[in-house]
Amino acid sequence: MNTFKSVAELRRRVSEWRSQGQRVGFVPTMGNLHAGHFALVELARQHSDKVVASIFVNPTQFGPNEDYARYPRTPDSDIAGLAAKGCDALLLPSVEEMYPFGTIGCVQMHVPGITDILDGAHRPGHFNGVAQVVARLFNMVQPDASVFGRKDYQQLQVIRYMATEMSFPIEIVPAPTLREPDGLAMSSRNQYLQGDERQTATFIYQTLCFMREQRGHGFPIDAIEAEAEQRLTMAGFSVDYAEIRRSDLMRAKSPEEPGLLALIAARLGRTRLIDNLEFDSA
């Protein structure tokens, strides 16, 4: 695996592959990689001949009181893991390479509507930063396909919207959520969990399953959401939301509606966890 810090050098390599008729897959990450990330690389391989990954902790998607400075950075183990999974190239850019005019003077991006609900309501500006950096990475790498995990479901929908609206000729490939044996969704933030918090964190997945079960019994959606929030609060979480939505993230009208999913974001100690469960695919 070759590592590139320069976009121009990576583009030359990608151009060589394209001249040979090869299809390029892309996996953007913020590093501190775990099995869930490596599964994205494996899925990208199924959709392409060559796989490019990127590692960049994007400052524009972190709010003033969020964890940009303490976000774990483990480049050596990340590079070793990507190489072991057969990744062909890694883009490891500096902030200056990504934002040549700085993060204040950079071109802004806003995806309307979908970014103002759920996580967008609790983290104002977060998805603007996500759309901004992913659009830049798409332009830099110019892949044929790019893989994103379903655990960050709202992020996936924002990127789908942006890619369609901006006419990026890129196939957006969703990847299933990878879970620990006890159901906890794999996440770099899990390492922040202290002591008994790790076991308590599994209650998020249990609550998602409860919401799916209650939906199957036809209970009103607002009653399911209220009970889910109460259960999480009693378990020690500070709940941002526990909601049932349609696959396009608009409000569901009835529990009988097809294509629903439950989404939860909650804090446990200093750690904010998110997860979701699609009812009809289980």
| Lookup result for tokens 């349609």 | 246
Would 192 be classed as within a structural domain? yes
Q: Which residues pair with 267 in a beta bridge?
A: 238, 272
pLDDT tens profile 192-226: 999 999 999 999 999 999 999 999 999 999 999 99
Is 240 found in the same domain as 105?
A: no
User: Do 60 and 166 belong together in one domain?
Assistant: yes
User: Distance (Å, rounded) from C-alpha 220 to C-alpha 225?
Assistant: 9
| Shared-domain flag, residues 162 and 249 | no
Q: Which domain holds residue 226?
A: 188-278
Mean pLDDT score, 58-74: 84
Residues 204 and 98 in one domain: no
84 and 27 inside one domain: yes
Query: How many angstroms from the chain centroid is the CA of residue 170?
Result: 17
Q: Is the pTM of this model over 0.85?
A: yes
pLDDT tens digits, one per residue of 84-126: 999 999 999 999 999 999 988 899 899 999 999 999 999 999 9
Q: Which one from 37, 47, 122, 126 is the annotated catalytic residue?
A: 37
**Boundary residue ending a domain (175, 198, 230):** 175
| Residue 217 annotated in active site | no
Last residue in a domain, options 144, 175, 206 = 175
Structural contact between residues 99 and 63, judged by C-beta atoms closer than 8 angstroms: no
Q: Which of 102, 105, 172 is nearest to 135 (CA)?
A: 172
CB neighbours of residue 190 within 10 Å: 16
* Amino acid at position 43, single letter: L
Instruction: For residue range 119-171, list pLDDT tens digits in order.
Output: 999 999 999 999 999 999 999 999 999 999 999 999 999 999 999 999 999 99
- Say which CATH number the domain at 112 has: 3.40.50.620
Helix (H, G, I), strand (E, B) or coil at 134: helix
Q: Are 1 and 89 in contact (CB under 8 A)?
A: yes
Judge contact between 115 and 139, C-beta under 8 A. Answer: no
What is the pLDDT at residue 64?
A: 76
Look at residue 30 and tell me if it is in a domain: yes
Q: Judge if 158 and 45 occupy the same domain.
A: yes
